[in-house]
Amino acid sequence: MMQFSVHHRLAGFYFWYYSIVGTFLPYWSLYLQDQGFNYKEIGLLSSIAILTRIFAPFIWGFIADKTGKRMLLVRIATWMEAIIWFLIFIIPNNMQSIALLMLIFSFFQNAILAQFEGVTLFWLGDKHTESYGKIRKWGSIGFIVGVFSIGAILDIVDIKYLPMMLLCIAFTAFIWSFTIKEPNSAPSSQKNLEPLLPILKKPIIAAFFIIEFIILFSQAPFYSFYSNYLKFAGYSTTQIGFLWSVGVIAEIIMFNYANFFLNRFSWRNLVALCLIMTCIRFVLVGLFPNHFYIQFISQCFHSFSFGLFHIIAMRIILENFNAKLQGRGQALYSTMWGLGVASGSILAGQYWEQVSGEYIFIIAGFSSLMGLLFVNFLPKKLQIAG
């Protein structure tokens, strides 16, 4: 019964955390557009929201490994998130103020997931293979609830109320965080941190993080501009929310059935498959903006672009970073995510109006194939799940 309770609480926090993401990610760029910002400014603001993932996770990972207080950091960060969304009603609505808001928000936002992933893996222990996907899927469900319900609400109320919705969800996540204790199996405070560099020199680790950068670079226009792209093509916010939800439903299905792939193919072949599917996905997005069903199909490929790739990433980090390095290992994963999406968002915003959104997505799709140059450094042999 106790084990079920822990799983329920972990799943619940994923639900609320990703409800914030599902409310912020699809609609924030629409909010900025409504407030009078142009595509170049939206690209810069979106990159600021992501750019802190380059350095913030390492700061939080260092503190987590040093103190051993991972859940305390999660609580502080969720509280600060709620404060930030309250402040948006007070500060002037200009480029400088919103940029500062995004910088502070994302600094704390990036403290949450990397450390909570570590908390989850420590709580699951030897059962992480069979249980992680089942728990993590509740984050995907939270994303769907956020994106779909907020999309429907925004068809009724003005999008200027979006920060108020984010405030309510962030405060709920903060309250929920108190239901989860520090994992007993996690290492406590460390006076002398174990060096990270020897792990990063391993070919599998270096190659994996390069591939992660590439696959996230190719996804940057999607994260920053997909909603604007669909809005320009004539889609309603309900339809936009639905298409975002399709991607996450595909992700949930992958979390449930990933072992089908993991038990039959090597990490090398699976990562290559993720890169190829990502290419096809965004080429379809760029070629057929007005075809709802093709956009639907392209969103289903999110199960590979993110779902399967993420599960492989968690296993690579768990197997190559020991317990005392987990905080910084997870932080590095978040850092490369931020570096890829931030650089891609800046470039997409810079050239969006010059070459059109259609070509941006096509170019982004083909850029993912560069990752195939590095897959040979991943394990050739089958990595058995469990």
Chain segment 49-88, per-residue pLDDT in tens:
677 777 777 787 778 777 778 888 889 989 998 898 888 8
Q: Which are the contacts of 165, defined by CB distance < 8 A and separation ≥ 6?
A: 23, 150, 153
CA separation for the pair 5, 202 (Å, rounded): 38
Domain 2-377: which CATH class?
mainly alpha
Domain ranges of the chain: 2-377
DSSP for residue 305: I
Mean pLDDT, residues 342-353: 88
Mean pLDDT, residues 313-320 taken together: 85
pLDDT tens, position by position, 247-257 = 988 988 898 88
Which has the closest alpha carbon to 283: 365, 177, 190, 350?
365
Question: What's the pLDDT at 321?
Answer: 81
Output phi, psi for 266, to 5 deg.
Answer: -75, 160
pLDDT tens sequence across 204-225: 899 999 999 999 999 999 988 9
CA distance 102 to 148: 23
Lowest mean pLDDT among 141-150, 164-173, 179-188: 179-188
State the burial class of residue 135 (Cβ atoms within 10 Å of its Cβ: 0-12, 13-18, 19+).
buried
- Cα–Cα distance for residue pair 228/221, rounded to 1 Å: 10
Using the 8-state DSSP alphabet, how is residue 161 labeled?
A: G
Least Cα distance to 313 among 350, 349, 278, 270 occurs for: 270
Other beta carbons within 10 angstroms of residue 44's beta carbon come to: 21
Output phi, psi for 276, to 5 deg: -65, -40
Tell me how far apart the alpha carbons of residues 66 and 155 are, in angstroms, rounded to a whole number.
47
Amino acid at 364: A
Residues sharing a CB contact under 8 Å with residue 93, sequence separation 6 or more, in sequence order: 35
Residue 190's pLDDT is 54
Q: Are 218 and 368 in contact (CB under 8 A)?
A: yes
How far is residue 235's CA from residue 273's CA, in Å, rounded to a whole number? 30
Assign 382 a pLDDT band (cuts: 50, 70, 90): low
Q: Which among 216, 317, 219, 199 is positioned nearest to 267, based on CA atoms? A: 317
